[in-house]
Amino acid sequence: MGTENPPRILVLHGPNLNMLGQREPEIYGRTTLADIDVGLMTLGRELGVAVETFQSNHEGELVSKIQSARDRCAALIINAGAYTHTSVALVDAILAVGLPVVEVHLSNLYKREPFRHHSYIARAAVGQICGFGAESYFLGLRAAVGVIKKA
Ligand code: DQA
């Protein structure tokens, strides 16, 4: 992929992910969200894509951000946090923009409480990566770049 106008990938972080590093570190690890964002931008440069990141604790802001990606981005990476398990609005926004989505989670949802086993996002995603801590995001970015290259 050329460096002139690299494809743009939007990475969305949902509620409470701004507290990574302090929040239940035995589940989510000690890496901060700022560390993850810097790592994603660095890896993005290596892979020939521009990475944009956005975190919000508000469902409507995440919906608006997904809508704004429609004509600007080639793919989305989403960790919707707890909205994963509740939000019809987020999956509708993803379906509306029609961009390929990679769903990521730090923790392995399927080892946790049953209410975390269902994801509304999954039905609109190309695939899901969970359980690798911060590395889930980097695997997700590699997956998203693979999807873009194939398209
Ligand atoms: C999470 C898993 C969700 O169940 C939880 O509500 C989160 C984080 C994860 O990355 O493991 O906030 O999405």
Condensed to tens digits (0 to 9), the pLDDT of residues 11-22 reads 999 999 999 999
Active site residue 28: yes
For the cut 60, the answer to whether the pLDDT of residue 122 exceeds it is yes
Q: Where are the alpha helices (DSSP H) in the chain?
A: 25-28, 33-47, 59-68, 88-97, 135-150
> Helices 33-47 and 135-150 meet at what angle, rounded to 10?
30
Stronger pLDDT, 3 or 16, i.e. the higher one: 16
Ligand 1 pocket: which of 105, 117, 132, 139 to mutate (most atoms within 8 A of CB): 105
Active site residue 120: no
Share of the chain residues as helix, strand and coil, in percent rounded to the nearest 5: 50, 15, 35
40 beta partners? none
CA 15 to the chain's CA centroid: 12
Contact 76, 12 (CB under 8 A): yes
Condensed to tens digits (0 to 9), the pLDDT of residues 57-66 reads 999 999 999 9
